[in-house]
Amino acid sequence: MQMRGRILKMKTDLQSPVQYHLPMGDDLLGMNQWIGKRIQFSFSGEIYCLDCGRRTKKSFNQGFCYPCFQNSPMSAECIIKPELCRAHLGEGRDMDWEREHHLKDHYVYLAVSSGVKVGITRDTQVPTRWIDQGASYAVPIAKTPNRYLCGVIEVSLKAYLSDRTAWQRMLKNEIAHVDLVAKRDEIIKLIPEECQPYVLTDEEVLNIEYPVNEYPTKVKSLSFDKTPIIEGRLMGIKGQYLLFEGGQVLNMRKHQAYVLEFSADESEQGIGKELKLEF
């Protein structure tokens, strides 16, 4: 089986376990079916910007050409630091885009992907955001009408909780066992008084199961920039990572906008005929 196209981060469907599909050009490649099988990805050397679509020699911020990295609303500083968002003041790189993405309901949440972390996401990205981070369980703790207010709450909690995922521990499935309901009840008391009206106290904890046959004991990160052909037996998928036999891991989100070719042994998978799709 072969497919070829510009990839985006894997799409997910919350089932038990999570179902993964990799966008390649105009098509979707189901990934769960290949767990336990040998697969190969080949990088053609082509990268096409996620925003403008132009070919670029180098990817910036997970898929942008340099001009779009500098000017696109999708790569603005407030994507990483939501407390800097100014859309609620009528300011932004593209106000139509800001109204669609940042002047919408957002959640502050607690998640456990290794230890407990605090994060934020747009309401339409629940539970996608948690899955992308490899969270084993998560719960919303506040809901605000825009991105900025979520950022204010998140900043207020960073003195008590990390806002980062320990990705190596997450991939090794070294997960802290935490009562998130008790942690939520403890942490919401630390949210500033002016933000208390946005606090949530009754949301249920969501548990997430990933399709992994075997977790690595050590991890080694792979990159198409250094290794144009990456192949091996796929042992599982967690977050946006493919886990290969021997502890090698591949962050697919990092390689958004790359043109890849996928191939696998159809005799192992039991498919009757070759499928080849061109980008």
Report pLDDT digits (tens) over 156-199.
999 899 988 899 999 999 998 999 999 999 999 999 999 999 99
Q: Is residue 74, in this structure, part of any structural domain at all?
A: no
Question: Helix (H, G, I), strand (E, B), or coil: what is residue 199?
Answer: strand
Contact (Cβ atoms closer than 8 angstroms) between residue 276 and residue 5: no
CA-CA distance, 230 to 250, in Å (whole number)? 9
Let me know whether 38 and 86 are in one domain.
Answer: no
Confidence of residue 267 (pLDDT cuts 50, 70, 90): low
Q: Are residues 187 and 246 in the same domain?
A: no
**What is residue 266's predicted lDDT score, i.e. its pLDDT?**
67
Q: Which of residues 157, 186, 207 is at a domain's end?
A: 207
Q: For the residues 206-222, what does the mean pLDDT come to?
A: 97
In a domain, 120, yes or no: yes
Give yes or no: residues 195 and 226 share one domain: no
Residues 44 and 89 in one domain: no
| Residue-wise pLDDT tens digits, 233-251 | 999 999 999 999 999 999 9
Same domain, 85 and 201: yes
Is there a domain that residue 265 lies in? yes
Domain range spanning residue 111?
A: 81-207
Question: Rounded to two decimals, what is the model's pTM?
Answer: 0.92
Last residue of one domain, picked from the residues 177, 207, 237:
207
Q: What is the pLDDT of residue 277?
A: 32
In this prediction, residue 144 has a pLDDT band, given cuts at 50, 70 and 90, of very high
Q: Is residue 139 domain-shared with residue 96, that is, in the same domain?
A: yes
pLDDT at residue 103 tops 90? yes
| Exposure string over 32-69, b if 16+ CB within 10 A, otherwise e | bbbbeebbebbbeeebbbbbeeeebeebbbbbbbeebb
- Degrees (nearest 5) of the Cα angle 98, 100, 101? 65
Question: How many domains are there within the chain?
Answer: 2
Q: Are residues 195 and 216 in the same domain?
A: no
Q: Is residue 58 part of a domain?
A: no
Any domain includes 66:
no
Asked if residue 232 belongs to a domain, the reply is yes
Are the beta carbons of 241 and 134 closer than 8 angstroms?
yes
pLDDT grade, residue 273 (50/70/90)?
A: very low
On whether both 17 and 92 belong to a single domain, the answer is: no
Mean pLDDT of 126-138: 97
- pLDDT at position 265 is 78
Give the pLDDT confidence of 21-76 residue by residue, as tens digits: 999 999 999 999 999 999 999 999 999 999 999 999 999 999 999 999 999 999 99
At 268 the pLDDT is 61
Same domain for 199 and 220? no
State the average pLDDT for the chain.
93
203 and 112 co-located in one domain: yes
Tokens 């920039």 map to which residue? 225
Residues 202 and 233 in one domain: no
**Of residues 122, 143, 135, the one with CA closest to residue 180:** 135
